[in-house]
């Protein structure tokens, strides 16, 4: 599933491509979106900005109209020039937003809805989000407070709770806990506030490092690889995630893997570096 950094990069690219441009054509396979377009045409509206909120991507149009999408497991946004061949089959298309110079196509996006600025501010999934480490308004103490309030929850599951801290997914969960030398099955109540604050600091550092804009400014679909080790070798970019039975990069112990939580998400950890 795309995590907060992936959505942040997608929003940044879409903003670079679309902000300030007028919509020339809109299409969607979702009847609810098509009905909104029929009643309040997108064509002619200006795209004001595109931004990420945790794992949600928001496209703001003039006239207080907002398109919210969530990628879930397989969704993605691509940017193309007119008449450029799509890299995905047409059957995967879910949303098309065209401007005179660039087109944005959502493929396999399972969640999409139109809202208004007022409705987003009042209620809904955006209002339920915890602090976002990638937001310039991130409040560390609030994130720590929200995590500490989940005393009976295992810390790995608490980090995945989007109402506690937004944007962390299964990869970052395991990587943050390894870097913080914290056992993923420890309940939050077993940790001190300083322990939790250290994990939040690591989350901020890892996620922000992976959205640093080192590009030339060209508009393209992001194709990079997430890194937490700081190593340039593509084969050594993560500490523990997806490395079951391979040697720990710190101590050589075989990395463990276990399903965890209500949704049985895979957790990876080093039993020696992260003892219970």
Percent of the chain with pLDDT over 90: 86
Residue 86's pLDDT band, with cuts at 50, 70 and 90, is very high
pLDDT at residue number 92: 97
Which tokens belong to 184?
Answer: 């993923």
Please list the helix, strand and coil fractions of the chain in percent, rounded to the nearest 5, in that order. Answer: 30, 20, 50
Last residue in a domain, options 54, 88, 122 = 122
- Active-site residue identified among 12, 249, 265, 271: 265
CATH at 255: 1.10.8.50
Indicate if 261 and 157 belong to the same structural domain.
Answer: yes
Indicate if 165 and 101 belong to the same structural domain.
Answer: no
Indicate if 212 and 246 belong to the same structural domain.
Answer: yes
Residue pLDDT, tens place only, 201-219: 999 999 999 998 655 444 3
- Active-site residue identified among 2, 125, 131, 133: 2
**Distance (Å, whole) CA 102 – CA 96:** 11
Indicate if 150 and 254 belong to the same structural domain.
Answer: yes
Structural domain count of the chain: 2
Last residue in a domain, options 55, 88, 122 = 122
pLDDT at residue number 4: 93
Residue 225's pLDDT band, with cuts at 50, 70 and 90, is confident
Indicate if 109 and 159 belong to the same structural domain.
Answer: no
Domain membership of residue 48 (yes or no) is yes
Instruction: Over range 251-258, report the average pLDDT.
Output: 98
- Active-site residue identified among 9, 13, 55, 146: 55
Which residues are 256's β-sheet partners? 269
State yes or no: is 140 an active-site residue. no
Taking Cα atoms as reference points, which of 135, 174, 180, 145 lies closest to residue 5?
Answer: 135
Spell out a b/e string for 230-265, using b for 16 or more CB atoms within 10 Å of the CB, else e: eeeeeeeebbbbebeeeebbeeeeebbbeebbeeeb
Indicate if 189 and 79 belong to the same structural domain.
Answer: no
Domain membership of residue 129 (yes or no) is no
Domain membership of residue 15 (yes or no) is yes
| Strand, coil or helix: 200 | helix
Domain membership of residue 132 (yes or no) is no
Domain membership of residue 30 (yes or no) is yes
Q: Which residues contact 194 (CB under 8 A, 6 or more apart)?
A: none
Indicate if 153 and 264 belong to the same structural domain.
Answer: yes
Indicate if 197 and 160 belong to the same structural domain.
Answer: yes
Does pLDDT of 1 surpass 80?
no
pTM: 0.91
Does pLDDT of 236 surpass 90?
yes
Q: Which residues contact 238 (CB under 8 A, 6 or more apart)?
A: 171, 175, 226, 227, 228, 229
Residue 221's pLDDT band, with cuts at 50, 70 and 90, is very low
Residue pLDDT, tens place only, 150-174: 999 999 999 999 999 999 999 999 9
State yes or no: is 3 an active-site residue. yes
Domain membership of residue 182 (yes or no) is yes
Domain that holds residue 150: 140-269
Last residue in a domain, options 122, 153, 185 = 122
Indicate if 170 and 245 belong to the same structural domain.
Answer: yes
Indicate if 30 and 92 belong to the same structural domain.
Answer: yes
Indicate if 115 and 151 belong to the same structural domain.
Answer: no
State yes or no: is 55 an active-site residue. yes
State yes or no: is 142 an active-site residue. no
Domain membership of residue 227 (yes or no) is yes
Indicate if 110 and 169 belong to the same structural domain.
Answer: no
Does pLDDT of 220 surpass 50?
no
pLDDT at residue number 8: 95
pLDDT at residue number 218: 41
> Which H or E run includes 147?
helix 140-148
Domain membership of residue 275 (yes or no) is no
| Strand, coil or helix: 156 | helix
Tell me the pLDDT of the chain averaged across its residues.
Answer: 93
CATH at 18: 3.20.190.10
């Amino acid at each position: 599933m795309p995590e907060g950094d992936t959505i942040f990069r997608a929003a940044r690219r879409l903003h670079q491509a679309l902000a300030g441009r007028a919509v020339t054509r809109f299409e969607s396979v979702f009847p609810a979106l098509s009905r909104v377009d029929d009643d309040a045409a997108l064509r002619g509206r200006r795209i004001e900005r595109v931004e990420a909120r945790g794992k949600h991507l928001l496209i703001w149009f003039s006239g207080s109209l907002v398109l919210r999408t969530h990628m879930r497991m397989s969704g993605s946004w691509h940017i193309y020039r007119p008449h450029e061949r799509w890299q995905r089959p047409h059957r995967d298309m879910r949303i098309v937003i065209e401007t005179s110079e660039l087109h944005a196509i959502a493929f396999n996006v399972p969640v999409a809805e139109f809202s208004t600025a007022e409705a987003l501010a009042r209620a809904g999934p955006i209002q339920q989000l915890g602090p976002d480490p990638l937001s310039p308004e991130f409040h560390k103490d609030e994130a720590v407070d929200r995590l500490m309030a989940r005393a009976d929850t295992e810390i790995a599951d608490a980090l995945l709770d989007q109402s506690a801290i937004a944007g962390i997914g299964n990869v970052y969960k395991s990587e943050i806990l390894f870097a913080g030398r914290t056992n993923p099955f420890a309940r939050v109540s077993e940790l001190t506030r300083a322990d939790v604050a250290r994990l939040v600091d690591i989350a901020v550092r890892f996620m922000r490092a992976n959205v640093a804009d080192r590009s030339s400014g060209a508009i393209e679909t992001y194709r990079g690889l997430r890194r937490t080790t700081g190593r340039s070798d593509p084969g050594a970019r993560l500490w523990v995630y997806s490395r079951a039975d391979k040697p720990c990069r710190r101590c050589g112990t075989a990395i463990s893997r276990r399903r965890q939580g209500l949704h049985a998400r895979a957790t990876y950890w080093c039993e020696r570096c992260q003892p219970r």
